[in-house]
Amino acid sequence: MSSPLPPASPTDAGPAAPGRHSPAAEFWRKFRKKKVGVASGLFILLLLIVAVIGPSIAPYPMEKPDYNHILAGASFAHPAGTDEFGRDIFSRILVGTRISLWVGFSSVFLGAVFGTFLGLISGFYGKWIDTLIMRFCDILFAFPGILLAIGIIAILGPGLGNVIIAVSIYGIPVFARLVRGNTLALKASVYVEAATTVGAKNGRIIWKHIFPGTLSTIIVYFTMRIGMAILTASSLSFLGLGAQPPTPEWGAMLSNGRAYLNTSPHVVIFPGIALFLSVLAFNLFGDELRDALDPKIRD
């Protein structure tokens, strides 16, 4: 689920005449002026590249212990120092990028798919279906934040796969409510009324006429939730409910490093910086994306 907008826009932006703006061209015209947005987008691109090639560019094998260099500080040989087994922390952070991004993307994607589906149905059909789905969301909302995820993990058991399930369930009501609101507004629009009048089937109206209208909101929220999902997943790993120790997941590395905080703070500092910068990049990108996509803010 790479965001479909940025790659499509440069080509669209070129031939567009000054008076004529396709939505994508309009978006790109606004977005490229946002230095922070572009910079965070580039950083995310870098993260994606590291996620793909991380294990092959890591200077050391991530599991290889080196008992001669235990808990060594940062140096030229080990840019982020070594951990309690003498493993190179920088290499482990590089390998861990894939895990964090994968957990973030997949959990938000699953939550977005199910949430969008529920939101479209709820908003379009209304009546008892709407009541049922919104009650379901209320119940999920009754367990604030990470608590719902912890409850789900308590049922399913700890592990990275279950963290993805837990975090995605936590995203379902958010997307469902958002998309439902948009659907209600679009359902009242003239073009949906026109489609109904010419006899278009409900499924076609939802998929062809309403869903595209909700897409920009979904994309913005999708980006903003990824940072949150990465943070939640690593918190769960830190609490011992997600990735388990040998895995170089950033939260799990921090959890392990706690024991050495007094003597070797670098064990905790560097994985935390990686986590912070990744989440910040997604949040900044989502923020700027919202400004560029929000039809209410026209310059």
Partner 1 sequence: MLKFLGRRLLGLIPILFFVSVLIFLFVHLIPGDPARLLAGADASYSDIAAVRSRLGLDKPILAQYLSYVSNMFHGNLGTSFRTGRPVVSEIGDRFMPTLLLTLVSMLWSFIVALVVGVISTIKKDKWQDYTVRFGALSGISLPSFWLGLMLMQLFSVQLHWLPTVGFNSWKGIILPSLTLGSGIAAVLARFTRASLQEVLQEDYTRTARAKGLAYNLVIWKHALRNALIPVVTMAGLQFGYLLGGSVVVETVFSWPGEGRLLIDSVGFRDYPVIQGEMLLFALEFILINVLVDILYAVLNPQIRLE
Stretch that binds partner 1, among 70-78, 174-182, 205-213, 231-239 (CB under 8 A): 231-239
Which C-beta is closer to partner 1: that of 153 or that of 293?
Answer: 153
Which C-beta is closer to partner 1: that of 73 or that of 145?
Answer: 145
Stretch that binds partner 1, among 22-30, 159-167, 214-222, 258-266 (CB under 8 A): 258-266
Stretch that binds partner 1, among 21-29, 42-50, 77-85, 278-286 (CB under 8 A): 278-286
Which C-beta is closer to partner 1: that of 26 or that of 249?
Answer: 249
270 Cβ contact partners less than 8 Å away, ≥ 6 residues apart: 74, 80, 81, 89, 90, 93
Q: Per residue, what are the HEC states of the chain?
A: CCCCHHHHHHHHHCCCCCCCCCHHHHHHHHHCCCHHHHHHHHHHHHHHHHHHHHHHHCCCCCCCCCCCCCCCCCCCCCCCCECCCCCEHHHHHHHHHHHHHHHHHHHHHHHHHHHHHHHHHHHHHCHHHHHHHHHHHHHHHCCCCHHHHHHHHHHHCCCHHHHHHHHHHHHHHHHHHHHHHHHHHHHCCHHHHHHHHCCCCHHHHHHHHHHHHHHHHHHHHHHHHHHHHHHHHHHHHHCCCCCCCCCCCHHHHHHHHHHHCCCCCHHHHHHHHHHHHHHHHHHHHHHHHHHHHCCCCCC
From residue 139 to residue 178, the character string flagging contacts with partner 1 as x (rule: CB under 8 A) and all else as - is: x--xxxxxx--xx-xxx-----------------------
- At its nearest, how many Å lie between partner 1 and the CB of residue 261? 6
Stretch that binds partner 1, among 52-60, 122-130, 175-183, 239-247 (CB under 8 A): 239-247
- At its nearest, how many Å lie between partner 1 and the CB of residue 272? 4
- At its nearest, how many Å lie between partner 1 and the CB of residue 280? 4
265 near partner 1, rule: CB under 8 A: yes
Which C-beta is closer to partner 1: that of 186 or that of 241?
Answer: 241
135 near partner 1, rule: CB under 8 A: yes
The binding site for partner 1 (CB under 8 A) comprises 135, 138-139, 142-147, 150-151, 153-155, 227, 231, 234-235, 238-241, 251, 254, 258, 261-262, 265, 268-269, 272, 275-276, 279-280, 283-284, 287
